[in-house]
Structure 1
Amino acid sequence: MEPTARQRIDKWLFFARIIKSRTLAGKFAAAGNVRVNSEKIDQASVQIKPGDVLTLTQERRILVLRVLGCGNRRGPAPEAQLLYEDITPKPVAAGEAKPVAARREPGSGRPTKRDRRKIDQFRHPDDDA
């Protein structure tokens, strides 16, 4: 299609093989699971064009895709992958995901009752209890 081509979000999700059927793609978009250029959409009829950035939330997974083109049909997977570029950030490693407060020296064991009270006092200084 030409560079100024636009396509409905439900058709594009179906052609790009992100969602299994066009009906499900329409329901997915209407449920508010899609953002186009950081704007939440709630209609399947929203038009997208090449260059738009889509943010999709599927269960516990977030996909960030840049639209490279509009599709004419639901073709094979290699053809569908030409419609988008996956720009999803890489997940954080399990060891780096812990907050700093949760880290303890190896071999120090569990916090004692006194340690827990100090931690609670530090986290919630306004509590009198």
Structure 2
Amino acid sequence: MLPLKDNNPTHITPYVTYALIAANVLAFVIMLMLPDDLEGRAKFSLGAIPAIIFQIKDIAANDAILPSSVDFLSILSSQFLHAGWWHLIGNMLYLWVFGNNIEDAMGHWRFLIFYLLCGTSAGLINAGI
């Protein structure tokens, strides 16, 4: 069973939750509207690809791979990309149901920072840190 709502009352209007849902949907629709070749390049540059995130450089002396720096922009932008409609719908459903309560408890700015830090942490963990 999927939750469609909760019964927890809130005391504020969850503007950040609404804005995050709108930003995610807008990013998804824009990606759908891109021509195939441009969509592939956009996904490659905006997605959380470990070799890009850590700007991997080959070290010829011992064939080791070392990161030269970390690309946090792709980690942030990847938080707004989704693999398909069901991925987007599932994520936005849970943000809709639970985001307003978390935003109410934390406040607007702290919730936004929390959301972005959680997404950044997830991107780094997914990339293998």
- The structure with the largest strand share of the pair is 1
- Specify the TM-score bucket, using the shorter chain as the normaliser: under 0.3
Q: TM-score, normalised by structure 1?
A: 0.24
**Which structure's CA Rg is the greater one?**
1
More helix by share: 2
